[in-house]
Amino acid sequence: MATQFEIDCALMAGASYLSNRDPINRFPVPQGWAEKIELRARNDSSGFEAATFQNGTEIVISFAGTNPLQMGDWTSANVPLAFGIVPRRPHPCNQPGQAGCLHHCP
């Protein structure tokens, strides 16, 4: 049987899919957790999406999987990774206006 934390993580994983879900079909944020809206990350050219959730001192960063209907997912992620090519990503601090949820920039 799943623990409450595992259930909460499953809900947060589902909640990280922001661009390809109708609002009525979006997953709820688990009780006790809050989404850090200002840390949402999305890159339409690659299909990258991530959401950050906090409950007291606990933080969960949830990444969305690929979207088969989005060409950027195929060209930037699925095909290169299938051939063992790991695309280099520039550090978000070097790109004005880009969310940097995974980095603390000075």
pLDDT score at 90: 54
Written as six digits, the tokens of 54 are 């906090």
Encode pLDDT of 38-83 as tens digits: 988 887 776 778 899 999 999 999 988 766 777 777 777 778 778 8
pLDDT score at 55: 95
Q: What is the DSSP letter of 29?
A: P
Residue type, 26: R
- Rounded Cα–Cα distance for residues 39 and 31 (Å): 19
Helix/strand/coil (H/E/C) assignment for every residue in 75-96: HHHHHHHHCCCCCCCCCHHHCC
Query: Could you tell me the pTM of the whole model?
Result: 0.66
Q: Name, in order, each residue with C-beta under 8 angstroms of 87's C-beta and a sequence gap of 6 or more.
A: 76, 77, 80
